[in-house]
Structure 1
Amino acid sequence: MPREGSKPQIDSALVHQLAQLLDETGLTEIEYGTQEWHLRVAKGSLAPAAFAAVAAPSAPAAAIAAVENDPAKHPGAVLSPMVGVAYIRPEPDAAPFIQVGDEVRVGQTLVLIEAMKVFNPIKCVRAGKVTRVLVANGAPVEYGEPLLIVE
């Protein structure tokens, strides 16, 4: 357990095990932690693998951290309306529909979800700025899973 103000020691064996678990299961992200620390390992075509270890949040920060740890609770979350495969590009070699920092308008296509060989466009229901893209191109998604955040 790191002392306050000190750099946390990262257990490279644990990080390696979690990364290996991602490869074995086909997942793109995994989180693990205790009350004292938290580790998130993610991979995908949108960003390189990310590693983070942080101290447990204080009580007032816990509510903010809950939204950060569960993007589905964010008021600007765009949730998947179905089970399928998410595509952030209209074609494999095409530019993505949206990227972090893009301004989006109501009715704009944000993502396609393929379900039963049908591509379903997920349209923007509120104008704003894309602050997070939470799915990788070609990633499987579940009903209610957050796809991106529009603020």
Structure 2
Amino acid sequence: MSKNTTEADVAFISALAELLNKNELTELSVKREYGEDDSLDVRVVKQANVVQMAAPVMQAAHVAAPVAAAPAPAAVVANEDPAQHPGAITSPMVGTCYMAAEPGAAPFVTVGSAVTEGQTVLIIEAMKTMNHIPATKSGTVKRILVTDGHPVEYGAPLMIIE
């Protein structure tokens, strides 16, 4: 942090936090240079509301037989990271996701749609440029993980194709 912390620095950080909220960003990082060996590094991060699902826990008093292995896969599914799925399409940029070519038009794909490699599955608008996002492989759309018109982050999973 700067050697000369001032009210201007506090106002600068407050302005960054406001910019973060106004533009629905989750993280913002800025380095402000004041001169040789004097700078201010600021990283503002918005903590998302995270909903965690726990696997059901069986009480020992209620268990008459050995516990079945069924709850374990449920726990794995609840904690599965869609971005690690082999059929995941991830966002190559930060922007706004659109599921159709224009408002009111039919979406490019829906759950259950058959797609071919290279087919446009959605659009990400970044800096007023519409970027067509292609299917990375042929298959069937199993899950759509984004909402039309909402922002997406770099590397965020967009959909699963199997």
Give, in whole Å, the separation in 2 of the partners of 1:132 and 1:59.
Answer: 22
1:1-151 aligned within 5 A: 31-33=50-52, 38=53, 55=56, 58=71, 62-67=75-80, 70-151=81-162
Gaps of 5+ in 1: 1-25, 39-52
Q: Percent identity?
A: 51
Deviation at 1:140, TM superposition (A): 0.1
2:154 alignment partner, SS class: coil
For normalisation by structure 1, the TM-score amounts to: 0.61
Which of these two proteins has the greater Rg computed from alpha carbons? 2
**CA deviation vs aligned residue, 1:101-120 (integer Å, no higher than 9, x gap):** 00000110011000000000
> 1:139 and 1:75, CA in 2 relative to 1: closer, same or farther beyond 3 A?
same
> 1:86 and 1:62, CA in 2 relative to 1: closer, same or farther beyond 3 A?
same
Give, in whole Å, the separation in 1 of the partners of 2:161 and 2:131.
Answer: 19
Q: Which residue of 2 aligns with 1:11?
A: none
One-letter code of the match for 1:66?
A: N
Give, in whole Å, the separation in 2 of the partners of 1:115 and 1:83.
Answer: 7
User: What do you get for the CA RMSD once the two structures are aligned?
Assistant: 2.7
> 1:59 and 1:149, CA in 2 relative to 1: closer, same or farther beyond 3 A?
same
Gaps of 5+ in 2: 1-23, 26-47, 58-69
> 1:98 and 1:127, CA in 2 relative to 1: closer, same or farther beyond 3 A?
same
Give, in whole Å, the separation in 2 of the partners of 1:60 and 1:107.
Answer: 33
